[in-house]
Amino acid sequence: MTKTVSFNQMKDGTAEDYALLEELEKSYLSQTADRILHALALQGQATLDGYKITRLQHGLQSATRAENDGADIDWIVGALLHDVGDGLAPQNHDRFSAEIIRPFVRWEVTWTVEHHGIFQMLYYGHHYGWDRNARDQFRDHPCFDTCATFCERWDQASFDPEYPTQPLSHFAPMVREVFARKAYDPAVMREGDVLGL
> Which are the contacts of 116, defined by CB distance < 8 A and separation ≥ 6?
82, 94, 147, 150, 151, 155
Residue 190 placed within a domain: no
Residue range 172-193, pLDDT digits in tens:
999 999 999 999 998 888 765 5
Residue range 92-112, pLDDT digits in tens:
999 999 999 999 999 999 999
Q: What is the pLDDT of residue 195?
A: 58
Q: What is the pLDDT of residue 58?
A: 96
Residue 148 placed within a domain: yes
Residue range 10-67, pLDDT digits in tens:
999 999 999 999 999 999 999 999 999 999 999 998 667 889 999 999 999 999 999 9
Residue 175 placed within a domain: yes
Instruction: Say which CATH number the domain at 99 has.
Output: 1.10.3210.10
Print the domain residue range for 132: 15-179
Q: What is the pLDDT of residue 196?
A: 52
Q: What is the pLDDT of residue 17?
A: 95
Please give the Cα distance from 59 to 95 (Å, whole number): 16
Residue 194 placed within a domain: no
Reported confidence tier of residue 2, pLDDT bands at 50, 70, 90: confident
Residue 50 placed within a domain: yes
Residue 184 placed within a domain: no
Residue 2 placed within a domain: no
Residue range 120-162, pLDDT digits in tens:
999 999 999 999 999 999 999 999 999 999 999 999 999 999 9
Please give the Cα distance from 124 to 126 (Å, whole number): 6
pLDDT at 197 over 60: no
Please give the Cα distance from 160 to 173 (Å, whole number): 25
Per the structure, the count of domains in the chain is 1
Q: What is the pLDDT of residue 79?
A: 98
Residue 137 placed within a domain: yes
**130-164 per-residue burial string, b: 16 or more CB within 10 A, e: under 16:** eebeebeebeeeebbebbbbbbebbbbebeeeeee
Q: What is the pLDDT of residue 60?
A: 98
